[in-house]
């Protein structure tokens, strides 16, 4: 039984380790999935921001008022600022976004290398547009530098969008591979856990069941023995009561006989005493009679002698 206990504790420990490892793997993957999901969302947002930058740049020279111009330029610069920060975060990461594992992909690094010129051109064009104000706009024509900057954004936005789509899809592929690896690992852990359970059932629970059945059989036999003993004890108790009654009756008879015997002894003793007394009296009487007889015999003898003497004298 001690051996089974040790084996059970060993299997339980290994099973616990498997479960803990599974949970650690799941929690780690969930944490990575959250990061991966955020990376994919930021990557997808980059496409929307690039389109917003292009739209704002094209809209800027068409402003009808200074307020509209400033509002459009503010939208352009805000979108460009977020777009630039997101691009740097995707490429190098920051304190809130860990891209080190994602960016281990060689293909992803090559995509970032290819997209960098378009990113740089759009960034420079936005900086150029930020230098303009509403007063520099001409009534019927767009300033040449502004037109060149807008054209640069428009020209490079398509190539940037295409490469950004490829980057987003690559991020999604890497995340999907992680999920597949997790699924595979989970299957292995599940198979290992089931194997441990089967081994535990075969090497621990099966002997324990056998031992339990054997003990149940022993307990059942012992229970039958106890029941038989109780029945026998009941019969013995009845026999004992019967024997006690017989012994009590015998004791009563013995006491009665003893009483009778004692009375008889008393009567015998009394009779004996009476007999001895009578015998003593008879002996005494006999003695007296004997003495008297002797006296009479002596007297008779003396008389006979005297009679003889008298006869001789006559």
pLDDT at residue 74, rounded to an integer? 93
pLDDT at residue 279, rounded to an integer? 43
| Length in residues, the chain | 314
Q: What is the pTM of this model?
A: 0.58
What distances in angstroms separate CA 259 from CA 82, 267, 272, one per listed residue?
A: 130, 12, 19
pLDDT at residue 227, rounded to an integer? 74
Mean pLDDT of the region 34-43: 89
Rounded Cα distance, 74 and 85, in Å: 16
- Reported as a single tens digit per residue, the pLDDT across 192-224 is 778 877 877 777 667 766 776 777 777 777 777
pLDDT at residue 50, rounded to an integer? 93
- Reported as a single tens digit per residue, the pLDDT across 154-182 is 999 999 999 999 999 999 999 888 888 87
- Reported as a single tens digit per residue, the pLDDT across 2-12 is 665 776 677 67
The model's confidence at residue 54, banded by pLDDT at 50, 70 and 90, is very high
Across the chain, mean pLDDT equals: 78
- Reported as a single tens digit per residue, the pLDDT across 120-142 is 999 999 999 988 888 777 656 77
Q: Which residues pair with 97 in a beta bridge?
A: 94
């Amino acid at each position: 039984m001690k051996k089974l206990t040790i084996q059970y504790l060993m299997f339980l420990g290994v099973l616990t380790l498997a479960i803990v490892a599974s949970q650690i793997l799941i929690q780690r993957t969930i944490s990575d999935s959250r990061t991966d999901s955020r990376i994919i969302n930021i990557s997808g947002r980059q496409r929307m921001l690039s389109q917003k930058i292009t739209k704002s740049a094209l809209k800027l020279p068409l402003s009808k008022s200074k307020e509209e111009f400033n509002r459009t330029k503010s939208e352009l610069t805000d979108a460009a600022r977020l777009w630039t920060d997101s691009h740097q975060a995707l490429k190098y990461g920051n304190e809130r976004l860990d891209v080190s594992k994602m960016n281990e992909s060689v293909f992803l690094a090559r995509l970032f290398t290819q997209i960098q010129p378009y990113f740089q051109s759009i960034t420079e064009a936005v900086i150029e547009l930020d230098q303009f104000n509403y007063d520099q706009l001409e009534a019927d024509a767009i300033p040449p530098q502004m037109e060149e900057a807008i054209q640069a954004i428009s020209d490079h936005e398509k190539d940037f969008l295409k490469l950004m789509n490829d980057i987003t899809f690559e991020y999604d592929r890497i995340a999907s591979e992680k999920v597949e690896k997790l699924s595979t690992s989970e299957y292995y852990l599940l198979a290992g856990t089931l194997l441990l359970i089967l081994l535990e059932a075969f090497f621990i629970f099966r002997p324990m069941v056998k031992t339990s059945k054997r003990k149940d059989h022993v307990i059942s036999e012992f229970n039958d023995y106890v029941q038989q003993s109780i029945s026998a004890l009941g019969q013995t108790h009845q026999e004992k009561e019967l024997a006690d009654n017989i012994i009590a009756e015998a004791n009563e008879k013995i006491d009665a006989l003893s009483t009778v015997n004692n009375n008889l002894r008393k009567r015998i003793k009394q009779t004996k005493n009476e007999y001895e007394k009578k015998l003593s009296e008879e002996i005494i009487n006999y003695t007296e009679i004997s003495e008297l007889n002797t006296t009479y015999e002596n007297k008779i003898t003396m008389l006979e002698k005297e009679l003889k003497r008298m006869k001789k004298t006559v």
